[in-house]
Amino acid sequence: MSARLDLTRYKSLAGLLRNPWPQFLIRILALAGFLFTILAGLLGTPVGSHNFAIIFVWIAWWSALKLIFIPFGGRFWCSFCPIPMPGEWLQRGGLLVRGNRTVGLGLPWPRRLTGAWLQASGFLLVGLFAAVTLTTPRVTAWMLLGFLVLALTMDLIFAPRTFCRRLCPIGGFTGLYAQVSPLEVRVKDPQVCATHSPKTCFLACPWGLYPLTLKSNADCGLCLECLRACPSDNIAINLRQWGADLHPGGRRLLAEAFLGLIMLASALVDAAVFLGPWGWLKVAAYSVGSRSWWAFSGGFLLLALVILPAMFILAVWLSARLAHPQLDLRQTLAHRSQVLVPLGLMAWIAFTISFALTKAGTIPSVLSDPLGWGWNLFGMAGQAGTGQVTLLSLTVQAVVLAVGLAWSCRVARRISASLREALPLAVFAFFFNSTMLWLLAA
């Protein structure tokens, strides 16, 4: 096991993490901001670049998620995401403490619907409408409201955080890439847990996880309820190496490969639509319901569900053939899908560098006039500078993609028995990254 630094060793930091108030205050802020965003989308200007809903959701938050939250904190965003909050508070019967009157049936989620299949499909579905959603404040507002209502409804029927774990498309994205994050919740001494009863941490965890068995960051929302509940101070918040969850051991699900491939396809399509020079493609992606949009959707689905999976299956099949001809392809696919994680994350970061850079200049202006009604709260309205995709940003993107390639090759080598076995996976990664670089440079 590689080196870890337990942050709870620092008393003041541990105190801060254990105290529910800072997290609660951020949650209030996030929920209030979320409601304001919905209102801004519904009432404010229909011009996306001047509406708080578009700029704050798709430029500020979506970029921060990919550039900061996930690479440094994994599912840290999930710990104060406003969408599941109303349901969670109702289920708990209190905001800070567990109340006597709790709401919700608490039914278990159907077993056959487990895995990341639904989340990946949801992400794909949202992607088909991305050109409209990312530019039309009203659509963004209705989508956010829809998520809020869906999460609340699911919380009333199913166990806590079922929406986050089973349906939230962003949850799928975040969970997948959280595996590389350098922040993890684990137990300090397994022996303490083994002898402790009742399992207070398990009972406290809204995600239904038992910290002792935590092997991956994929499902842990970093809410730190276990840290607060543990009477033995046996929960560690570790800083660790990037990518520590990607290793040869452990059983993995086929859905992870599906999720990883959907994310790769989405990164390619988003780069082509939003950053590419092809006007007809933007029009097709935007004209939801038109013939050209159906063609675009067909192409998108073909790439995500047929072309990329076929290429990856071929790479894995070659890799497996080289090692053990008798290997179960299903299991091998799931296992080798780990190479898709750093590859996808770095591709998304590279995409975001251009996407955020060209639009970040609108943030101060939209803060001053969030609804596009001619306000000037901070004297910065109308100062929207549009950024340029420069040689510098392109160089940074190329470096990010190169890191992604090197990293996924390293993972490929780490989870393969031999270099020969890792080679087809590396070729796949190289092919994907070259396409991504070409799209970004186009």
Interface residues toward another protein, by CB under 8 A: 24-25, 28-29, 31-33, 35-36, 39-40, 43-47, 49-51, 94-97, 99, 369, 371-375, 382
Nearer Cβ to another protein, position 133 or 319?
133
Provide the residue type at 123 as one letter: F
Nearer Cβ to another protein, position 224 or 423?
224
Nearer Cβ to another protein, position 162 or 365?
365
Nearer Cβ to another protein, position 99 or 208?
99
Nearer Cβ to another protein, position 49 or 331?
49
Nearer Cβ to another protein, position 139 or 257?
139
CB of 432 to another protein, least distance (A): 36
For the chain, helix (H) and strand (E) counts, in that order, are: 23, 3
The DSSP letter of residue 218 is: T
Structure tokens at 358: 């060209």
Contact between 268 and 435 under an 8 Å Cβ cutoff? The reply is yes
Nearer Cβ to another protein, position 287 or 435?
287
* Other CB atoms within 10 Å distance of the CB of residue 409: 20
Alpha helices in 77-181 (DSSP H): 85-92, 117-128, 130-133, 137-157, 162, 169-178
CB of 31 to another protein, least distance (A): 7
**DSSP 3-state of 187:** strand
Can you tell me the distance from the alpha carbon of 155 to that of 89, in angstroms, rounded to the nearest whole number? 10
CB of 78 to another protein, least distance (A): 19
Nearer Cβ to another protein, position 268 or 371?
371
CB of 29 to another protein, least distance (A): 7
- Measure CA of the first residue to CA of the last residue in the chain; give whole Å: 43
Which residue in this structure is represented by tokens 């086929």?
Answer: 254
Edge-to-edge strand order for the sheet containing 235-239? 5-6, 235-239, 183-187
* Other CB atoms within 10 Å distance of the CB of residue 389: 16
Query: Cβ contacts of residue 114 below 8 Å, gap of 6+?
Result: 166
CB of 155 to another protein, least distance (A): 17
Can you tell me the distance from the alpha carbon of 307 to that of 309, in angstroms, rounded to the nearest whole number? 6
**Burial zone of 70 (CB within 10 Å; 0-12 exposed, 13-18 middle, 19+ buried):** buried
Nearer Cβ to another protein, position 25 or 417?
25
Can you tell me the distance from the alpha carbon of 36 to that of 379, in angstroms, rounded to the nearest whole number? 20
* Continuous segment of H or E residues that includes residue 186: strand 183-187
Can you tell me the distance from the alpha carbon of 15 to that of 108, in angstroms, rounded to the nearest whole number? 34
Contact between 114 and 167 under an 8 Å Cβ cutoff? The reply is no
CB of 275 to another protein, least distance (A): 21
CB of 324 to another protein, least distance (A): 57
CB of 94 to another protein, least distance (A): 5
CB of 24 to another protein, least distance (A): 6
